Structure 1
Amino acid sequence: MDGSASAAERAYQAIRDGILNGVHPAGTMLGEEALATEIGVSRTPVRSALSRLQDEGWIVIYPKRGALVQGLSERAVADLEDARLMLESTGASRAGAEIRDELAERLRESIAAQREAFRTRDVRRFIELTIRFHRAFVEAAGNDVLLELNDRLADRQRFLLFSKGDRLLARCDDIVAEHEELVERLRTGDAAGFTDALRQHLADNYAPPVTTGYERGSQTTR
């Protein structure tokens, strides 16, 4: 990889991470010069990175003004919720008894770490823990295609959770209790109960929907 390609990739990763983790929230106007100074590169790789991020639907570039960070439309949030419900409930329903027992034990350790993250108000750590927690239900099916589909949603999930950081902290006890219920439903093989609990859990965490006035529901590249 030559220097310009490396700089462009570094700029892309830095800007993308800033969008996903809430440093650049929806509605923020990003400027090439400020980004270049912050990242430590020239404006050319920043311009390349912004073009790539626009293709992925994260921003809209306005010539001579900057790049506007997009939010998730109500439709996009609803679609994400629906897709996660299908993937995770399918994964949990297909797990055998031995896998369920092993996974339940591992997820209880995750819940303990989540509780500690909430205690220290470390939203960033909780979000990464909960993304891995929910991924485990899909992984339990042993289906690589389902897991690939799930992983393609991780950036949207991360973006949405960071946009709801205050809500997560306000619901911390409820979230931990809901995660514990999901693990118990999984352990006992209660597929219908797991699906019902997951549906309510997602609805509680995703509502009220993000409404920024900018639509991204038609994006299909991620």
Structure 2
Amino acid sequence: MLHATKVPAAERVYREVKEQILTNAIAGGELISEGEVAAQCEVSRTPVREAFLRLEAEGWMRLYPKRGALVVPIGEREAADVVDARLLFEEHAVRAVAARESRRTGLVEQLRANLTAHRAADPADIAEFSRLDAEFHQLIVTAGDNPLLADFFRSLGERHRRMTTASVHRDHTVAGRILDDHRDLLAAIDTGDADRFATALADHLAGVHDLRGGARP
């Protein structure tokens, strides 16, 4: 008989703290201590220290001895770079499917289902709202039928989620804008208008993530 393997304490702390960072429950610029997290997760400080070291290695934290861990804020350069990558990958995918009606039809059906679920989601449930947002864009890139680009785009998913949750926290109107923009992006794909999609996507990302001067060309 197989028994479920218990998740090591350090792994559990790592996952919980990282999820709080990605959903903005712990905001960028906030200083947290090993003791606080140990109490929250009901573990000793040793697994917390291990989790913090891992999060620092991944760039989510900076550790300060005897002071705690600073959650690294999302910098303007990082946000602009992520948006640049998304513009390139998503536009490339839409141009690839624009002339292929069967593939475009399949993508439109998937995006409509995603948008229906997204509209039904509670914006206050940041984790679920941001997951559906990331899924919408991942579906587009995956439809481009380039596994290398799709995998690389997926690696941006955590940064994408964090940026979205930060934007929703910053401005309560952002959630509604995301849904409206996704409807427009879906309409552009449905008509096979890649140029319209590219323009709408640039406006969407610049507006949602409050990029000064818009997305870089």
> Which TM-score applies when normalising by structure 1?
0.86
Alpha-carbon deviation of 1:80? 0.7
Q: Which residue of 1 aligns with 2:189?
A: 186
Where 1:60 maps in the other structure, the secondary structure is strand
**Cα distance in 2, alignment partners of residues 38 and 123 from structure 1:** 20
Aligned residues: 207
Alpha-carbon deviation of 1:110? 1.5
Structure 2: unaligned runs, 5 residues or longer: 213-217
Closer, same or farther: CA 58–172 of 1 in aligned 2, 3 Å = closer
Q: Which residue of 2 aligns with 1:9?
A: 11
**Cα distance in 2, alignment partners of residues 32 and 122 from structure 1:** 27
Alpha-carbon deviation of 1:121? 4.3
**Cα distance in 2, alignment partners of residues 116 and 167 from structure 1:** 21
Pairwise CA RMSD: 2.1
Matches within 5 A, 1:42-81: 42-81=44-83
Q: Which residue of 2 aligns with 1:143?
A: 146
> Which TM-score applies when normalising by structure 2?
0.88
Q: Which has the higher contact order (CA 8 A, sep 6+)?
A: 1
Residues 1:104 and 2:111 are matched in the alignment: no
**Cα distance in 1, alignment partners of residues 64 and 90 from structure 2:** 38
Q: Which letter does structure 2 place at the counterpart of 1:100?
A: R
Structure 1: unaligned runs, 5 residues or longer: 210-222
Q: Which letter does structure 1 place at the counterpart of 2:38?
A: A
Alpha-carbon deviation of 1:175? 2.7
**Identity across matched positions, percent:** 36
The answer (yes or no) to whether the contact 1:87–1:138 under 8 Å persists in 2 is yes
The answer (yes or no) to whether the contact 1:117–1:123 under 8 Å persists in 2 is no
Describe the superposition over 1:67-126 as per-residue Cα deviations: whole angstroms up to 9, x where unpaired: 0011111111110111111111111111221111111122112212222225x6444322
**Cα distance in 2, alignment partners of residues 76 and 129 from structure 1:** 22
Runs of 4+ in 1 over 4 A off after TM superposition: none
Q: Which letter does structure 1 place at the counterpart of 2:184?
A: E
